[in-house]
Structure 1
Amino acid sequence: MALTPLSGTLGKKRAAHLLRRACFGATLTQVDEFASLTAQEAIGRLFMTDIPEPPLPVDPLTGQEWVVSGTTDANSEGFELEQYFLRWHIGQMLSAGISNEQSLAYAFRERLVVFMHTHFTTKKSVVNSSRALYFQNALFRFYAFDKEDRLVPGDPELVIPDRILVKSFKGLTKKICLDNAMLVFLDGRLNVKGSPNENYARELMELYSIGRGLEGTLPEAEFQGDYINYTEEDVQQAARVLSGFNTDDSFLSVDVDTNLPRGVIKGGGGSHDNGIKTFSTRMGGATIQPDITLQPNGQPNEESMIDEVDQLIEMIYAQPETARNIARKIYRFFIYHEINAGIQSGVIQDIADVFTANDFKLQPTLETLLTSREFYEAGDGVDDDSFGGIIKSPLDMVVGFMRSFGVQAPDYTTDLEGFYSFTGSLLGSVDVQGMDYYEPFEVAGYSAYHQFPLFNRAWITTNYLTNRYNFIRQHLTMETPMELGEVNALEFVQTHIPNATAANARALVIALAGYFLPMSENLTFDANATNEITVERLNFFMNAFLFSPQIDPDPEASWTFRWQNGVDTEVISNQLTNLLNAMLQSPEYQLM
């Protein structure tokens, strides 16, 4: 079985579905534009290659960047710099300062950065370095669009030839092993010969690569320390491979492939276990040993140690279960959380096959997936896994709201304090809705992306749902200052909804539902028709719109008169605000 290419143009429902899941959301104009595209044309727009790199984060205290040049006594405190980095990243998700033509591709790249962050998890409180967090974030961005490989210039003075770096998710897995933030987060810097620290090796196996298999379908372990796809012995041997690295707090040790800082070897290589590492039969009984041609004096060095890491990742990715485990991560992030045996042998295996056939590149895999019928209709055997099958994360909720309404952040270059105030407010909203960004509760990351069987339902509790509704209410009323993202309902409808549609109350409700609610095709107020949203729900929105409070003997006719004649604009504005509040505080809007 292979993923089935989707034919024809997307239409509004599919276009909105794609842009919610791939770009945090889009304006109504962007949805309409993508509705006329085929899936292949749409994905070509998202994987745009000429989008700019983000500007560097700037410390408002000095007016200068600090992540590349380093900090001085003049800079803000460390915890403040961490906040500026996070607020800066929220701005990138909003495509702040990016042209309309590049906005969606820019947001899509940031969406992939977030995906990689949820996979290769990091906690800011443990890393305790805004620079390390930034460079890891930049590493994810470097590998987000990985279809095109990268030319690595040689050094003519050393007679080193140019070469081609094959960019891939597998390549990212190699680089993350030596990433400064990861070396701190999972104690890689504490892993030395004779006193191994297995934390990173364990999570590399369990979380980042091969995994333990599909939950609920695993056979009984055959012996103590058997994790089905790998063993305790494999963790121990991997820890030996990964021994002897340290963080580079100066961030001057730069990876030649990515031009980004990475860790260094500890003690000139003397902390590395230079022996032969023998893995279990789960890994085919493979061995990893130093390449003696890279050790002219017989001692471990940077080149030979990195070569062992390469051997380790190649060995892990040679196991078919690694591709399946990462395919499940992709499926759960972009499609649905529930995976049964049929989906495992069908769609998951299809994704894994594409991933493997493309040398573990993420971009060709997503190009195939996001242009497939399976992305839009999900898998056979589950009833609620297509449109509206994922509960929005707090990031999707907050950033998606702003993107849908076209709210612009203050200009980063001319109003830095306003920019950080705006994005800081959004970051606070994400926090109170249950996602402390870059501070997941567990070492495995945010529970919504990994915790069986709850998954994304973890985003919804009584308090979190209340805070979601408060966020909507605050940004659709006069309770929030304009600079913090308040939406003017009247201006929004005047700008985006045709006048004839807006003048008809029922047509207006249906039109707005078509953009904001995932299940919203072929809607009608006819009680005898088959609707994706029940007539009762449509009438609920109508009641909030025109009847709460009821001020007219014939509310629909009065609405049409006001709209067509431009009278009682305060009443019109209040009614539209009530309608948007009702629709966006509905359970349906919490889904994507």
Structure 2
Amino acid sequence: MGPKRQEILEASTSGLSATLDKLFAPPALPPPPINHFFTQDPNVAVGKTWVNSPYVAGVDVGKYRYPSLRGWYVNNLIDSPCTINERLTLFWINHFGMAEVSDHRAEYQYIQLFREFGGASFQTMIEKITVHPAMLYFLNGDWSSKYEPNENYARELLELFTIQKGPQIGEGDYTNYTEQDIRTAARILTGWRTRRLFSRDSGPVDSFFNDQTHDDETDPRNPNLEPKQLSRHFGNAVIVSNGADEYKDLIAIIFQQPETARAICRELYRYFVYSDITSEVEDTVITPLAQFMTANNFNVAATLRELLGSKHFYDINVRGPFIKNPYEYYLSILRPLHGFEHLDLSLANNPNSSQIRTIYNIGTAYFGWASSADMDVFTLPTVAGWKAYYQAPNYYRNWIGSASLQLRRKSVRDLTYQGIYVQIEGGEYKPRGLGWLEFVERLTIPEDVIEVVQECIDIFLPRELHPDQFDALKNELLRGQQDREWTIQWNSYLASPSNPDITRPLTNNIKSFFRALFSMAEFHLQ
């Protein structure tokens, strides 16, 4: 999501195999979010983490945990190393579609779960999320019991999270499972409870198994309870009572079905490649990819590496084919420009900085921009996720409407004028701008205006531009002057980098150039 120039150069020099090795290297999890300003939580001092700290009577700890979590999440995107991990984490956030979990400790836990296990076994991910406190709360699993099995999670487990529905072929029969399978799965999943969610008790939020509420086929109110048998879609398998591991037995049977691998491979394809899965793509890409996944124990990283290393992935027809989501849009500006490193405001480099409030507020502000553009990672619109990844035929076109397009344009204007206004230490609001001159200095031949324009196109756009577009961008740097004037201005800047009479007009021309570049239709494409 927004490669830096040096990352692109290293990839082109290292080659595909070495680049994929780097992309799929085991991730290093970022340190947890901290209390960046709040002084009224007796359990958490400013500068300390709150992720396992309880609620406090009479104190609204959400006042700082809400922005802390969001600022932490976005700053880690801006500062992230060149791996697939954050993009894959966002894939899982969409896949599981959780919203309004509200306890920020549980929200932190599932973000870290996706970061830690996002590239591991898909089956392991399903096992972990099934009994995760956030999911138990979100889909009412923590209230499900043998007396009243709740079908919410069972339905989404089959319909959205694993094998998926398929066309309806009969009454209560959806090709890949039946309504009876949902009812049976709900019984199997009973007995799990959350612990310390919204609690004033010390200790982490977690979940546990209560065998007293689990359906072990001995409900005294129903002595004729039927065995937990699945339909013909699952080989009429019977799940025997197995206590805390019984849900894993159900998941294992789901993963024995070939359609489960095909369903997740289609989602990976729509997220990482293109939304249009033709019959040819189904036969030549999805089916062999699903077979590869099954043969590799459902390992997501191995499967995704196979896809990203395929000839199909580099076909011109799937290069820059879909509209960036809001995070991709903003990060494709922020990461290449090295975020706020020039202001020494990088969370990765300054976890204990005296300016930590400013750093967190920057992240929170960008989180607000993405949320305003209809992408709040902690409050998804539906359990199915964002429309861009499932709603045919529009798919990615859902990211752009009259309001969201105007918001993107306004944010570009803000970024290329003064920057984003945030509250800094002391309570004052100030703009935090990007390092425009520092970016140009990193280019290969910054004194050559043609090379500057071309290298920026290579970095920021998925495809080449028409010559007329190229000339229009170049003119934003030259303002009607000859090409050699850029060289004169740049060399003058290098000779006197602190002279405002030189740096101010040069910076304004560079900002004007990027304002034009980021406003192009091509820049919205991923």
Q: TM-score, normalised by structure 1?
A: 0.77
Equivalence for 2:42: none
Residue number among 296, 299, 321 corresponding to 1:358 in the alignment: 296
Q: State the shift of 1:115 in Å.
A: 1.4
For residues 261 and 43 of structure 1, do their structure 2 counterparts lie closer, same or farther at Cα, with a shift above 3 Å needed? farther
Unmatched segments (≥5 aa) in structure 1? 1-23, 97-102, 147-167, 253-258, 291-303, 379-383, 521-532
Alignment of 1:285-304 (within 5 A): 285-290=236-241, 304=242
Q: Distance in 2 between matches of 1:76 and 1:585?
A: 41
What are the residue-to-residue correspondences of 1:59-98 with 2, within 5 Å? 59-60=35-36, 61=38, 62-63=45-46, 64-73=48-57, 76-78=60-62, 80-95=64-79
Is 2:171 aligned against 1:224?
yes
Alignment check: 8 A CA contact 2:228 2:240 kept: yes
How much does 1:56 deviate?
Answer: 1.7
Give the alignment partner of residue 519 of structure 1, picking from 440, 460, 463: 463
Root-mean-square deviation (CA, aligned residues, Å) is 2.4
* Cα deviation, residue 111, structure 1: 2.1
Deviation at 1:345, TM superposition (A): 1.4
Residues in 2 aligned to 1:485 and 1:361: alpha-carbon distance in whole angstroms: 41
1:260 and 1:438 mapped to 2: Cα distance? 20
For 1:170 and 1:485, the matched residues in 2 are separated by 43
Return closer, same or farther for 1:75/1:361 CA change in 2, 3 Å cut-off.
Answer: farther
Q: Name 1:282's counterpart in structure 2.
A: 233
Are the aligned partners of 2:129 and 2:135 in contact in 1 as well (CA < 8 Å)? Answer: yes
One-letter code of the match for 2:445?
P
Mapped pair 1:133 → 2:107: yes
Bigger mean CA deviation after superposition, 449-458 or 74-83:
74-83
* Residue identity in the other structure for 1:494: E
- Give the corresponding residue for 2:220: none
Which residue of 2 is the match for residue 11 of structure 1? Answer: none
The match for 1:187 among 114, 119, 140 is 140
Partner of 1:239: 186
CA contact (8 A) 2:230 2:237 kept: yes
CA contact (8 A) 1:474 1:480 kept: yes
Change beyond 3 A, Cα 1:80–1:450:
farther
Q: Does the alignment pair 1:348 with 2:286?
A: yes
- The one-letter code sitting in structure 2 at the alignment partner of 1:437 is V
The alpha-carbon deviation at position 571 of structure 1 amounts to: 2.9
Distance 1:225 1:84, change over 3 A: same
SS in 2 for 1:428: helix
Post-superposition CA distance 1:506-564 (Å, at most 9, x none): 332222111110013xxxxxxxxxxxx222322332343434xx4x4xx3343343334
The counterpart of 2:213, out of the listed 270, 285, 307, is: 270
Q: Is the partner of 1:56 in helix, strand or coil?
A: coil
Tell me which amino acid in the other structure corresponds to 1:307. D
Q: Secondary structure at the match of 1:263?
A: strand
User: 1:328-362: CA deviations, max 9, x gaps?
Assistant: 11111111111111111121112211211110111
Establish whether residue 109 from structure 1 lines up as the match of residue 109 from structure 2.
Answer: no
Q: Does 351-360 or 270-279 show the bigger shift?
A: 270-279
Partner of 2:34 in structure 1? 58
Q: In 2, distance between residues paired with 1:442 and 1:473? A: 32
Contact 1:518–1:588 (8 Å) recurs in 2:
yes
Distance 2:147 2:181 in 1: 17
Task: Measure the CA separation in 2 of the matches of 1:245 and 1:67.
Answer: 22
Are the equivalent residues in 2 in contact too, given 1:433–1:467 (CA < 8 A)? yes
Match of 1:444 in 2: 384
Do structure 1's residue 205 and structure 2's residue 149 form an aligned pair? Answer: no
Question: Structure 2: how far apart are the matches of 1:475 and 1:245?
Answer: 47
Partner residue in 1 for 2:334: 402
Question: What fraction of aligned residue pairs are identical, expressed as a percent?
Answer: 29
| Distance (whole Å) between structure 2 residues aligned to residue 176 and residue 58 of structure 1 | 25
How far is the alpha carbon of 1:261 from its aligned partner?
Answer: 5.7
Q: Assess if the C-alpha contact under 8 Å between 1:449 and 1:455 holds in 2.
A: yes
Aligned-pair CA distance for 1:179: 0.6
- Structure 1 position 458 matched with structure 2 position 398: yes
Partner of 2:258: 320
Structure 2 residue corresponding to 1:544, chosen from 444, 455, 476: 476
Q: How does 1:417-566 map to 2 (within 5 A)?
A: 417-480=357-420, 485-499=432-446, 502-503=447-448, 505-520=449-464, 533-547=465-479, 550=480, 552=481, 555-566=482-493
Displacement after TM superposition at 1:234 (Å): 0.9
Cross-structure match for 1:370: 308
Tell me if structure 2 keeps the 8 A contact 1:489–1:580. Answer: no
Gap change, CA 1:37 and 1:75, over 3 Å in 2:
farther
Q: Is the 8 A contact 2:453 2:474 kept in 1?
A: yes
Aligned-pair CA distance for 1:251: 9.8
Q: Distance in 1 between matches of 2:503 and 2:69?
A: 42
Structure 1 contact 192–271 (Cα < 8 Å) conserved: yes
Q: Shift in Å at residue 145 of structure 1? A: 3.9
Residue 587 (1) aligns with residue 525 (2)? no
**Structure 1 pair 373/365, CA: closer, same or farther in 2 (3 Å)?**
same
CA contact (8 A) 1:412 1:419 kept: no
Q: Which residue of 1 aligns with 2:270?
A: 332
1:396 positional shift: 1.0
Letter in 2 for 1:120: F
Letter in 1 for 2:62: G
Cα offset for 1:48?
2.5
CA contact (8 A) 2:388 2:399 kept: yes
What CA distance in whole angstroms lies between the structure 2 residues aligned with 1:175 and 1:488? Answer: 42
Superimposed CA distance per residue, residues 229-251 of structure 1 (whole angstroms, 9 cap, x where no aligned partner): 11111111111111122211269
- Summarize deviations over 1:8-65 as a string: whole Å, max 9, x none: xxxxxxxxxxxxxxxx12211221111112211001112233x533212212323222
- Secondary structure, counterpart of 1:82 in structure 2: helix
Residue type at the aligned position of 1:365: T
Distance 1:341 1:193 in 2: 44
**Cα distance in structure 1, aligned partners of 2:144 and 2:16:** 47
CA–CA separation in structure 1 for the residues paired with 2:303 and 2:59: 42
1:387 aligns with 2:313: no
The alpha-carbon deviation at position 464 of structure 1 amounts to 0.7
Which residue in 2 is equivalent to 1:157?
none
What one-letter code is carried by the residue in structure 1 that aligns with 2:236? G
Looking at structure 1, the residues matched to 82 and 131 of structure 2 have their Cα atoms a distance apart, in angstroms, of 31
Measure how far apart 1:212 and its partner are. Answer: 2.2
Q: Post-superposition shift, 1:405?
A: 0.6
Q: Given the alignment of the two structures, is residue 37 of structure 1 paired with residue 14 of structure 2, yes or no? A: yes
Residue 74 of structure 1 and its aligned partner are, at CA, apart by: 8.7
Aligned length: 485
**In 2 relative to 1, CA 480–248 (structure 1 residues): closer, same or farther, beyond 3 Å?**
closer
Given residue 495 of structure 1, which amino acid in structure 2 is its aligned partner?
R
Long gaps (5+) in structure 2: 39-44, 218-225, 423-429, 494-500
TM-score where L is the length of structure 2: 0.86
